[in-house]
């Protein structure tokens, strides 16, 4: 569908659905970040202070995998939203598109109807925010894993 001059492509339904799923994804990310920072950082500090470096490294890897699980959950939520709203009727295509857009890689063509393309932008913003947040958490965990020499 080609957009003609003066055609309104802002879809309030897309904005509402996208905002709702974005907020849900932020809550998912917040939960996983809370778990990783409260449990993981405490364990890292404990193991590094006791010079149990192998255990500390294993905790660090577990924390990174937990953050990865957070992103996979968020991609799944986006895919479900696309599929259950019948925006993308095929579940597999909805999940792959959600992953492609959430990660901002964009490796598949956009299957969304023109009036729903705003969702692509909101999905990408969701991924950018969550990946940035995960990066900050990994930096905090790295500081606990490799404390500065005094």
Write the CA distances from 68 to 43, 90, 112, 113, 146, integer angstroms.
Answer: 19, 25, 26, 30, 21
For 37-91, what is each residue's pLDDT tens digit?
Answer: 999 999 999 999 999 999 999 999 999 999 999 999 999 999 999 999 999 999 9
Q: Indicate the pTM of the whole model.
A: 0.88
Q: Specify the residue for token string 């259950």.
A: 84
Mean pLDDT on 20-39: 97
pLDDT at 38: 93
């Amino acid at each position: 569908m080609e957009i003609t001059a003066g055609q309104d492509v802002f879809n309030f339904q897309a904005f509402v659905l996208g905002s709702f799923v974005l907020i849900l994804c932020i809550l998912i990310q917040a939960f996983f970040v809370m778990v990783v920072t409260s449990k993981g950082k405490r364990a890292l500090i404990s193991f590094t202070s006791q010079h149990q470096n192998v255990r500390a490294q294993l905790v660090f890897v577990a924390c990174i995998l937990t953050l990865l699980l957070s992103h996979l959950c968020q991609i799944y939520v986006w895919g479900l939203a696309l599929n259950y709203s019948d925006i993308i009727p095929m579940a597999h295509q909805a999940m792959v598109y959600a992953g492609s857009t959430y990660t901002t890689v964009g490796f598949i063509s956009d299957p969304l109807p023109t009036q729903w393309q705003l969702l692509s932008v909101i999905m990408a913003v969701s991924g950018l925010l969550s990946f940035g947040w995960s990066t900050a958490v990994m930096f905090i965990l790295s500081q606990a894993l490799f404390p500065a020499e005094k």
